[in-house]
Structure 1
Amino acid sequence: MGLILNIDTATENASICVARDGMAIATMVNREQKDHAGWIQPAIARLMQEAGFAMQQLQAVAVTEGPGSYTGLRVGMATAKGLCYALHIPLITESTLKVIAYATREAIGLSTGEPHLLPTLICPMIDARRMEVFTAVYNMDLEAVIPGGARILDNNSFNKELENNRLIFCGNGSVKWKPLCGKHSNAVFYEGDGYTAAHLGLLSEQRFQQEIWADLAYAEPAYLKEFYSHIKN
């Protein structure tokens, strides 16, 4: 049973959550993506104060490692590692895609044992600009059927998976996939409120119980593709 600070700055909405035993005690959200770096440190201080805990009481810090925004991922990882170094506590990392898949599963009320005519899979998507997304496919136990990666969408994407499975598409990248997918009978689009660091809280608690720590010295964001910048001469 751990008291864990959970941090997510991977996408347009940043959030932090202090959770005990996987249950959220207090959560804060920032919807201004350009302000994640300036928001996160003061927000953590306020969050801990409102939750009634001192920083020294934390037993671990968890962070979404990516994929997501390059800048956002660096902000979250640097913050989490800095706190772990200062407090001498372990670092926990989790895939942003798995957190989205978990949040979607919980929101639509699907259980791992719910019967369907076809197996149900969850396909989270994060917008990677143009027609590209970061995506993966998970079963209802949140095991990766297709590992995370960058994928350029076209009309034939996921044809094989849709043939014999009911696929639930979610995340901000699924918006541009929906018109290409058409009205496939096995495709379901979840357009809910998304996820927060509170959803990371349960997954990080599972890793805490199993003592699955990230290497504090070498942990880095999972970008899933190279970063390219346009430099003016």
Structure 2
Amino acid sequence: MSTLILSLETSSPICSVALHQDGTLLGQSELRLEKSHSSHVSVLIEQLLENTGNTVHNLGAVALSDGPGSYTGLRIGAAAAKGLCYALNIPLLAVSTLQALAHQAAACTSMPENFLYCPMLDARRMEVYTALYTHEGAEVLAPTPLVLEADTLAEQMTHHHLLFFGNGTAKFQPLIAEQPNANFLTNIEPSAIAVGELAQQAYLRQEFRDVAYYEPFYLKEVYTTTPKSKT
């Protein structure tokens, strides 16, 4: 039976949605406006479904970018995805943001088997969220927060060619400018298309998430403070 999967990517300032039918892309839409996810993700979904001749009732599953990334963005994506899955009684799929970035990079790399793929998401100051993957998506280094220094990942670069990409690489590249096994790729950004491609594989493996209890993968604890009252 044919399966229609709606995918959401809200972990970054880019709000992106995509629709795949059995792994084939039907359409994609995105908006690049800061802090616009809450007011626009539902509109993007409605327009995408309408433009492809579908309704929410045609959906077989909803996938979302699992994190790490923007706390607020991930919460908005989770709320939208869980709401649809609960209302339609369809499965929820969660795809690692870092793995989806690595998937994109491997797809546009010549001789991809020659590299390990290192997505880096900016986590402020000199810290990034990162991981290492093979060209087939196997996890070599689990997602972790790293403070960037000149010897960061030096051991891995002793034995492998590493390909770095994502919005955290700009502050890392000057630190390892003399490292011959460090390679950098530009224009790799979080996309619902990559989420949908990996979600199709997860759907076939029936790797569904609990709609009631699912929480995004923030990687680090989120701290909130209560504003002080004015006196």
TM-score by length of 2: 0.94
C-alpha displacement at 1:55, in angstroms?
0.7
Gaps of 5+ in 1: none
Is 2:77 aligned against 1:76?
yes
C-alpha displacement at 1:23, in angstroms?
1.8
Q: Percent identity?
A: 37
CA distance in 2, matches of 1:30, 1:91: 23
Structure-2 residue corresponding to 1:60: 61
Contact 2:163/2:185 (CA < 8 Å) preserved in 1?
A: yes
Is 2:198 aligned against 1:197?
no
Read off the aligned partner of 2:156 and give its amino acid letter: E
Contact 2:12/2:190 (CA < 8 Å) preserved in 1?
A: no
Please list the CA deviations of residues 95-144 of structure 1 after superposition, one character each: whole Å capped at 9, or x if unmatched. 000000001111224444xxx4xxx2000010011111000000111111
Aligned 1:177-192 pairs, distance under 5 A: 177-192=172-187
Structure-2 residue corresponding to 1:173: 168
Contact 2:165/2:184 (CA < 8 Å) preserved in 1?
A: yes
Change (3 A) 1:205 1:87: same
CA distance in 2, matches of 1:61, 1:103: 20
Please list the CA deviations of residues 189-233 of structure 1 after superposition, one character each: whole Å capped at 9, or x if unmatched. 001242410111110000111111011111101000012345443
Is 2:227 aligned against 1:226?
no
Gaps of 5+ in 2: none
Q: How many residues align?
A: 227
Equivalent in 120, 123, 129 of residue 118 of structure 2 = 123
Aligned 1:40-119 pairs, distance under 5 A: 40-112=41-113, 116=114
Read off the aligned partner of 2:148 and give its amino acid letter: L
Local SS of the residue matching 2:78 = helix
Contact 2:120/2:168 (CA < 8 Å) preserved in 1?
A: yes
Is 2:7 aligned against 1:6?
yes
Is 2:159 aligned against 1:164?
yes
Task: Between 221-230 and 63-72, report the one with greater CA deviation.
Answer: 221-230
CA distance in 2, matches of 1:22, 1:166: 30
